[in-house]
Structure 1
Amino acid sequence: MPFAVYVLGLAVFAQGTSEFMLSGLLSGIAADLDVSLSAAGLLTSAFAVGMVVGAPLMALFSRAWPRRRALLLFLAVFVAVHAVGALTPGYGVLLASRFVGALANAGFWAVALSTAVAMVPDRLKGRATAVVVGGVTVACVVGVPVGAVLGERWGWRSAFWAVAIVSLPAFLAVLRTIPGGRGDRPARGGTDAGTAPVSEATPAPEAASVSVRDELRVLTGPRLRRVLLTMALVQGATFCTFSYLEPLLTRETGLGAGWVPVALALFGAGAFAGVTVAGRFADARPVAVVATGMAALAVGWAALALAAGSPVLTLALVPLLGLLAFGTGTALITRVLGLAPGAPTLAGAFSTTAFNLGATVGPWAGGLALDAGFGHRAPAGVSALLMVAALLVAATTAKSRRPRAGERRLSAVNRGARGRW
């Protein structure tokens, strides 16, 4: 595995900390800015909206640029808006800074995913995807709990400053390790221990040589549309509960504020394990990984809604749900990238958009349930319903892919080693 892929994971760690850390800061932000808990939760939705809008737009904006230049620009903007967010006295400016920061994050994600899979042979694409997404899980294990501790001791603004500071080493690492070209990748056989310079590899066709219309034609086919919708529903379920995990733990489970960083770290540890497992098996058995993960998530979110009054059961379910959510999400991203080799610019962007469309709808739906007076367990119940919807979409997708008898021979040739879902 090229070292540059791990550098991309490092940068995603800093950005993932920002995306997820609000789950441990909501009460402090709401009190400091004099807004409701659901309004503070919309800061997560604003970030996700920026990711949804920004992923395809930023990918198109930077498609003719060298990948290193695009990644550095997005990181620089990300650092700047976190400084603004840490300094602002008003909710409106903080909301706007979250949106702009998400645009930068979306652009980085879209380019980073495409860059990572372009630098490795086909047999390592799932593992490269897992390394990049793994930056988010490490953020959940380390960055988010640390952010919660900073928020508890020195206020939520200190967590924003910490994200800006941690992003600076990632900026320097990208500058030194990512090649300056647009489409370099290693030879098909890989590199010796993954350490050969990427600039010495066999170049692949540049993304700019594929028209936007051709990429959109690939990505808007019925098969990929259903996979992307499934991904959005799975992530919606994840963010619906995760965004309100802190009030669930402190106001329903009865745990003290000091347990919030512990629970966040448990979720992150589970997520890291899930991404690792998915990276090993998603290439060979994508259907089994996704189907098993989604069914288990539907049961798991429902179990959390029922068991939230028990500290022991809740703390046991949190890491398990992190494992299932991120393992399934990673397998779905790998699936999209594998089904769309003809969309080198926009495949990563559409994956990012679907991921964060769920992150937009999830906190919004959870906030509606809270405002309706259903209690702090309600977001977990909504997550279970979203997973049922994801299973129905996946079942429809699988059914639509069953070939008729006369098509089976041609279908087998076209599929090659790919799964049918």
Structure 2
Amino acid sequence: MTTSQIESLASAPRHEDARQKLSWSPLLALGTAAFMSILTEALPAGVLPEMARDLSVSESAAGQLLTVYAIATGVAAIPLSAATSGWRRKRLMLLAVAVFAFANIVTALSSSYPLTMTSRLFAGVAAAAVWAELVGYARRLAPPHLQGRAIAVTMAGIPLALSLGIPVGTFLGGLFGWRPTFGVVALISVLLLAWIGVSVPDAPGQKAGKRQPILQALQLPGVVPVLFVVAAYVLAHNILYTYIASFLDAYDMGGRRDLVLLVFGTASMVSIFVTGALVDRRLRQLTLVSVALFIVAAVMLVLVADSEIAVYTSMVLWGLGWGGVATLLQTAVTDAGGDRGQALLVTTWNSFMAVGGAVGGILLDGMGPTSFPWSVLLLLVPALLVVVAGRRHAFPARRPGAA
């Protein structure tokens, strides 16, 4: 597919049958890039005690390996988008995936905590580039009435990384050690470079005269409420998820980390398919359900976390809520603010991922892991109220352009 073709996908007249189809190979390659971004970021959560021991640091210090990645992504998102807005988009995506491969190789080989942190910082900057490109590519590769579904395909890599990648990584880490596991992730990144090179069409950057200040999107109705929900949901999720091993240890379930994460991930996969099928028509309803399910899961972890059945049930509810949330919030903010809203979401999402790791570390040291579900409730109840109130602009009952 040529550059001119990709530029015209959303606007040029085409045969109706052709407009009903999605370009699956490039969308799946982009979804795999999202998968690698989240896998690279979150894999330490599944092997946190082992990494902490080998790097000679505490578990809360090892948790900051996730924090520095998220900080780098959040801080870099807006300036990186501005600095690379004129670049060819495929070139930027290939460079970002190459950085993932390099950073994971360094992590696998390094015995130095500062060096490992530095490699994670560079990987976080690369993730900012990947995140900024996913929605724009998805929208160009689909007609307007299927753009939500195309975004769902690219965003599916996020919950899939958590549902399959992290549990499998935790399992492999237990069998072979965490270092070979990061080596495998680096190898997958190299293979992804070839896939993107073959299947993803190129697209030009923006011309200098057409670039609009990103922060002006905050003035658009609906953008700020969506970003509030992003901040609250991501902060709540990462406080609990980053230190899930410590939480399970508190209830004598540390030996079943891989199974707990697999249950969480399987539920997330179900949510992916449901969200992908319905997001173009039921964005508001799905967002309400997503937040409510996580709230119910947190209530169970507050009241009956000493029951294994209750813990597994809460993982199912949490996974069902989490699996589609990236697609839902990416779609909502793009509907409200366009590509500029997307850049703001990347900054908000990853900044609060970083805050989640830091706040979780403070809670772990000061109040213990049983405080995590309470923090989820304090964050998500206001988020639910914002979704309920955002009927007109942020989370409308009917999406603009939806069939």
State the AA in 2 paired with 1:376: P
Is structure 2 residue 402 aligned with structure 1 residue 370?
no
State the AA in 2 paired with 1:210: K
State the AA in 1 paired with 2:377: A
2:225/2:390 contact within 8 Å kept: yes
Map 1:220-239 onto structure 2 (within 5 A).
Answer: 220-239=219-238
Is structure 2 residue 123 aligned with structure 1 residue 101?
yes
Name the residue aligned to 1:361: 355
2:75/2:351 contact within 8 Å kept: no
1:149 counterpart (171, 183, 191): 171
Following superposition, the deviation at residue 386 of structure 1 comes to: 1.2
% same residue = 30
Map 1:161-310 onto structure 2 (within 5 A).
Answer: 161-182=183-204, 206=206, 210-213=210-213, 215-249=214-248, 251-257=249-255, 259-310=256-307
Secondary structure in structure 2 of the residue aligned to 1:309: coil
Following superposition, the deviation at residue 339 of structure 1 comes to: 1.8
Runs of 4+ in structure 1 off by over 6 angstroms are: 399-402
State the AA in 2 paired with 1:366: G
State the AA in 2 paired with 1:338: D
1:158 counterpart (145, 162, 180): 180
Name the residue aligned to 1:84: 106
1:235/1:325 contact within 8 Å kept: no
State the AA in 1 paired with 2:196: V
Name the residue aligned to 2:328: 331
Instruction: Tell me the TM-score normalised to structure 2 length.
Output: 0.87
Secondary structure in structure 1 of the residue aligned to 2:86: coil
- The structure-2 alpha-carbon separation of the partners of 1:63 and 1:309, relative to structure 1 and needing over 3 Å to count, comes to same
Name the residue aligned to 1:66: 88
Secondary structure in structure 1 of the residue aligned to 2:295: helix
Stretch moving more, 166-175 or 6-15: 6-15
Secondary structure in structure 1 of the residue aligned to 2:195: helix
Secondary structure in structure 1 of the residue aligned to 2:364: helix
Root mean square deviation of aligned Cα: 2.6
Distance in 1 (alpha carbons) for counterparts of 2:188 and 2:63? 24
Distance in 2 (alpha carbons) for counterparts of 1:9 and 1:329? 12
Distance in 2 (alpha carbons) for counterparts of 1:85 and 1:415? 42
Following superposition, the deviation at residue 306 of structure 1 comes to: 2.3
Distance in 2 (alpha carbons) for counterparts of 1:378 and 1:232? 19
Distance in 1 (alpha carbons) for counterparts of 2:173 and 2:162? 15
2:38/2:158 contact within 8 Å kept: yes
Name the residue aligned to 2:6: none
Secondary structure in structure 1 of the residue aligned to 2:72: helix
Structure 1: where are the runs of 5+ without partners?
184-205, 403-410
Is structure 2 residue 310 aligned with structure 1 residue 313?
yes
1:253/1:314 contact within 8 Å kept: no
Is structure 2 residue 52 aligned with structure 1 residue 30?
yes
Q: Deviations over 1:284-319 (max 9, x none)?
A: 222222123223322221212322211121112212
Equivalenced residues, count: 381
2:135/2:151 contact within 8 Å kept: yes
Instruction: Tell me the TM-score normalised to structure 1 length.
Output: 0.84
Distance in 2 (alpha carbons) for counterparts of 1:216 and 1:53? 14
Following superposition, the deviation at residue 217 of structure 1 comes to: 2.1
Following superposition, the deviation at residue 14 of structure 1 comes to: 2.1
Following superposition, the deviation at residue 399 of structure 1 comes to: 8.6
Following superposition, the deviation at residue 338 of structure 1 comes to: 1.6
Following superposition, the deviation at residue 26 of structure 1 comes to: 0.8
Name the residue aligned to 1:194: none
Q: Deviations over 1:29-58 (max 9, x none)?
A: 111122111111111111111111122222
State the AA in 1 paired with 2:160: V
